Amino acid sequence: MPTLIEGQDKDAKDSYAIEKSDITTFASKYLGLNMLHPGGYKASSELAGLCGMSGNSLVLDIACGKGTSSRFFAKKFGCNVTGIDMDEDRLQSAKALSEKDRAIRSRVKFMCANAENLSFADNTFDIVIVQAALYLLEHAEKAMEEAARVTKPGGRVGFLELTWLKEPSNEIIEEAKGIFGRYLTQAKSSAWQDLIANSGLEITEVKLYNYEATTIKDENAFTFLKVLWKMTTNSAIRNKARKNSSFFIKHPGYMGYGLYVGEKRGRGRIVEPEEMMPCLIALTYLQPQAQTPPLK
């Protein structure tokens, strides 16, 4: 029986784990990236804007990963953010990175929770955000119902999700599943919109974009250099990165992402300026006119 030297055995195991990792684990654990969704800060900023995020907003960031967007929202809008995720390692990073940031550390908090079964009371948050996570779930509809439930009437649920921009063949779907995960088949814009409508929300925005395969530009210089070093020195990491990006080179224009926003109708909903116009006009004309004294 051939015996494996301990170090070699570990290297082989590591290489195997890297090769088999899904895109989230690869980006987060093996590359050490913090930004884990396509479109990066630019897309998050747009999504937050479409949801009407402001300093007064109480925000829930579902499947927050390392809390990169939670911190970004707190910093850019001055709001209070709760981030939840199922992965303890990413949550540890989220807590540690936030603790270092004096400007926002009192306004962000993180906890371990399942998107499909939240412990928050009904109508708790003004805005609920989910970025690049529904496609990972077996019961995305359950997560969407939960997101809608914990949103206040008049509040918004905004999600950023992988979306097929062109109808993929079975072969392309199978290839993509090897990179992104097994529930990717449902990732059609129409299916995401049905999910919003079926959870009782009214769709207010849908925007589709091409996938931006790398969000490395959103990482700080230290992380950038670390990634460069890993790519240069670790052939398993290099091969996996090459394999992931070859999907986009081989099938250009298929995979994209969408920004989807749904509003929870009810008391105190956000009224758009154009909806206000007829009311303002009516009010102007219905004002009691100054009475002219009757002619004698």
Does the footprint of ligand SAM cover residue 86 (CB under 6 A)?
yes
Q: Kindly indicate which of the ranges 61-69, 118-126, 268-276, 279-287 contains the residues binding ligand SAM, using the contact rule CB under 6 A.
A: 61-69
Nearer to ligand SAM, 112 or 270 (CB): 112
Q: Which residue is listed with tokens 């779907």? A: 173
Identify the three-state secondary structure at position 1. Answer: coil
Minimum separation from the CB atom of position 287 to ligand SAM (A): 50
Torsional sign, CA 129, 37, 191, 210? positive
Identify the three-state secondary structure at position 84. Answer: strand
Does the footprint of ligand SAM cover residue 137 (CB under 6 A)?
yes
Which of 59, 127, 136, 148 is in the footprint of ligand SAM by CB under 6 A? Answer: 136
Exposure on the CB side of residue 38, measured as CA atoms within 13 A: 22
Does the footprint of ligand SAM cover residue 132 (CB under 6 A)?
yes
Q: Judge contact between 93 and 110, C-beta under 8 A.
A: no
Minimum separation from the CB atom of position 28 to ligand SAM (A): 7
Does the footprint of ligand SAM cover residue 69 (CB under 6 A)?
yes
Nearer to ligand SAM, 15 or 114 (CB): 114
Minimum separation from the CB atom of position 102 to ligand SAM (A): 22
Does the footprint of ligand SAM cover residue 70 (CB under 6 A)?
no
Does the footprint of ligand SAM cover residue 163 (CB under 6 A)?
no
Minimum separation from the CB atom of position 252 to ligand SAM (A): 22
134: its two tokens: 């529904």
Does the footprint of ligand SAM cover residue 161 (CB under 6 A)?
no
Interface pattern 8-47 for ligand SAM (x via CB under 6 A): ----------------x----------xxx----------
Q: Kindly indicate which of the ranges 49-57, 62-70, 245-253, 255-263 contains the residues binding ligand SAM, using the contact rule CB under 6 A.
A: 62-70
Does the footprint of ligand SAM cover residue 145 (CB under 6 A)?
no
With a CB cutoff of 8 Å and minimum separation 6, the contacts of 289 are none
Q: Kindly indicate which of the ranges 65-73, 201-209, 255-263, 288-296 contains the residues binding ligand SAM, using the contact rule CB under 6 A.
A: 65-73
What is the residue type of 6? E
Minimum separation from the CB atom of position 218 to ligand SAM (A): 10
SS (H, E, C) 27-69: HHHHCCCCCCCCCHHHHHHHHHHHCCCCCCCEEEEECCCCCHH
- Report residue 154: phi and psi, to 5°: 90, -10
Does the footprint of ligand SAM cover residue 179 (CB under 6 A)?
no
Q: Judge contact between 131 and 47, C-beta under 8 A.
A: yes
- Positions of E strands within the chain: 58-62, 80-85, 108-112, 125-131, 151-164, 202-210, 255-263
| Cα–Cα distance, 119 to 44 (Å, whole number) | 25
First to last CA, the chain: 122
Q: Judge contact between 123 and 150, C-beta under 8 A.
A: yes
DSSP state of 132: S
Which of 59, 80, 85, 104 is in the footprint of ligand SAM by CB under 6 A? Answer: 85
Nearer to ligand SAM, 114 or 123 (CB): 114
Residues making contact with ligand SAM (CB under 6 A): 24, 35-37, 63-65, 68-69, 85-87, 90, 114-116, 131-133, 136-137
